[in-house]
Amino acid sequence: MTHRKKVIIVILAVGILNVAFIMALLSQRQGNIGFAFFFYDGSDTFIAEMIGNLTASIPYGVSYEVFDAMNSQSVQNRQIVEFINSGYDIFVINAVDRLAGTSIVERLSREEIPIIFFNREPLAEALIGRTNVFYVGAAADILGVKQAEIAADFFAGQNTINVIVLKGEHGHQDAEKRTDNSLNHLRELGFNVNVLATRSANWRRQDAYDVMRSLYAQFGCSIDLVFANNDDMALGAIDFLLNASIFVEGACEQPFVIISVDGTPVGLDAVYRGLIWGTVHNNIAVQSSAILTLADYIVNGRDMDNFPYPITNGHFIYIDGDIITKNNVLEFIR
C-alpha cells in the first residue's frame, strides 16, 4: 500500500454513504481500500447516527475499523499517528478538539495526505495555503439564525422574550456561533430578548437534565423560550420537565417552547410529539454527498472548477439546513 496514493478524509459527521461511489473508487485502484474511522465520542447521538450510516453502507469486501476517542484528544492523536502507516488509505476523523486541526494538518501534510475536516471547523489558518485540505459542514451561524426564525414565528406579536440557552462545550465554535446568532437575529427581528441564563450542558442529554432542573428552580414560570444548541440537550431538558410534570405528553401547548438543532431521529420524534417546538436540520445526507464528491475529486484529480458545491475561500464547503416543525416533520422522518 505504500505505493498507492493515500487519501485521508477527516469527518465530524457523515450520513448515508454512496455505495456506488465507493465501488467506483475501488475499481480505479489496485487492490482493496481500507477505511479507518476516528470519532470524538460514539455516545453522542448525532455521531452515533453517523457511525451507523457509515458502517451499514460500506460495501462487502471493503475493510474498515472504527476508533472511538471517548472525548479525549490525546487518545485520538495517538490513534491517528499509530495508523498513518497501517495501510489504510482513508481516515475518517471527527476531531475531539477543533484546535487540534492545526497539528493534525501539520502532521499529515508531511505525508502529503489530503484532508477533509467535517462538522467541527478548524481554525482558518490551519487550512489556508494548504493543498488538498478542506472543511465540509453546516454553517453554524446560519443554524442559529434559523433557530431565531422559528422563534420569531411562534412569538409574533410579542415584544419581550425571556430566554434560556443550553450551550454545547464552552468555547466550541458551533456552540458559540449557534448561541450568538440565535439571540442576535431574534433581536434584529425586533424582539426584546431577555437572556435569563446561558449554561453549558456539553452537548449531552444527562447534563442538560441537571442544568434544566437547576434553571427551572431559579426561573420557573418566567421562561418563555429555551434555545438548545443540539437535540440531545433539548431532550435532556424535556426529560426533566416531563418527570416534574411541567411538560405534559400529548398536550396541545407546553408552558414554554424549546427550539434546537440537528434533526436526529430522536429529535424529530420529539418534534412530532410536540415536545420540541422546532429544530434546524444538520443535514447528514447532503453533507455526506459533499464529502464523498470532494473525495472523488481529490482521489481522481478532477478539476475543482467543476465541483458542484460552492467553496468559500478555497477550503470551506458549507451546507445549509432546513427548518423543521410539526408542520413538516413527517417529511424528514425515515
Say which CATH number the domain at 91 has. Answer: 3.40.50.2300
Measured CA distances, 29 to 32, 33, 218, 294 (Å): 8, 8, 61, 17
Q: For residue 294, give the DSSP letter.
A: H
Q: What is the mean pLDDT of residues 76-81?
A: 91
239 and 264 both lie in a single domain? yes
- Please give the pLDDT value at position 294: 79
- Please give the pLDDT value at position 285: 80
- Please give the pLDDT value at position 51: 78
- Please give the pLDDT value at position 275: 98
pLDDT tens-digit map of 197-252:
999 999 999 999 999 999 999 999 999 999 999 999 999 999 999 999 999 998 98
DSSP string, 138-202: E-HHHHHHHHHHHHHHHTTT--EEEEEEEESSTT-HHHHHHHHHHHHHHHHTT-EEEEEEEEE-T
The CA-based angle 152-154-193, given to 5 degrees, is 45
168 and 66 both lie in a single domain? no
- Please give the pLDDT value at position 1: 40
Q: How high does pLDDT run on average in the chain? A: 86
Within 8 A by CB and 6+ apart from 299, the residues are 5, 7, 25, 28
227 and 305 both lie in a single domain? no
Residue 93, pLDDT above cutoff 70: yes
Residue 12, pLDDT above cutoff 50: no
305 in any annotated domain: yes
277 and 159 both lie in a single domain? yes
156 in any annotated domain: yes
210 and 243 both lie in a single domain? yes
Q: pTM (2 decimals)?
A: 0.86
Structure-model confidence comparison of residues 266 and 48, the more confident one: 266
Residue 49, pLDDT above cutoff 50: yes
User: 207 in helix, strand or coil?
Assistant: helix
Per DSSP, what are the bridge partners of residue 1? none
Q: Are strands 192-200 and 257-262 parallel, antiparallel or unpaired?
A: unpaired
Query: Which structural domain range is residue 28 located in?
Result: 19-139+283-320
259 and 291 both lie in a single domain? no
pLDDT band at 4 (very low <50, low <70, confident <90, very high): very low
Share of the chain above pLDDT 70, in %: 88
258 and 246 both lie in a single domain? yes
7 in any annotated domain: no
214 and 235 both lie in a single domain? yes
Question: Which amino acid does the sequence have at 328?
Answer: N
- Please give the pLDDT value at position 34: 66
pLDDT tens-digit map of 139-163:
889 999 999 999 999 999 999 999 9
- Please give the pLDDT value at position 15: 37
197 and 122 both lie in a single domain? no
Question: What does the buried/exposed string (b/e) look like for 145-168 if buried means 16 or more CB atoms within 10 Å of the residue's CB?
Answer: bbbbbbbbebbeeeeebbbbbbbb
95 and 183 both lie in a single domain? no
User: 118 in helix, strand or coil?
Assistant: strand
- Please give the pLDDT value at position 316: 97
Burial of 22 (0-12, 13-18, 19+ CB in 10 A): buried
- Please give the pLDDT value at position 33: 54
pLDDT band at 21 (very low <50, low <70, confident <90, very high): low
CA distance 9 to 327: 36
Residue 75, pLDDT above cutoff 50: yes
- Please give the pLDDT value at position 50: 73
Could you give the number of structural domains in the chain?
2
135 in any annotated domain: yes
- Please give the pLDDT value at position 59: 65
258 in any annotated domain: yes
- Please give the pLDDT value at position 20: 52
The phi and psi torsions of 294 (rounded to 5 degrees) equal -65, -40
- Nearest Cα to Cα of residue 296 among 4, 1, 25: 25
The phi and psi torsions of 330 (rounded to 5 degrees) equal -65, -20
287 in any annotated domain: yes
CA distance 175 to 165: 10
Burial of 306 (0-12, 13-18, 19+ CB in 10 A): exposed
Residue 14, pLDDT above cutoff 50: no
User: Which of 72-86, 127-141, 199-213, 275-289 has the largest mean confidence?
Assistant: 199-213
Instruction: Locate the DSSP E strands across 218-295.
Output: 225-228, 257-262, 278-281
268 and 165 both lie in a single domain? yes
Residue 9, pLDDT above cutoff 50: no
Q: What is the mean pLDDT of residues 296-313?
A: 89
Q: What is the mean pLDDT of residues 5-13?
A: 41
CA 30, 132, 22, 84 dihedral sign is positive
67 and 33 both lie in a single domain? yes
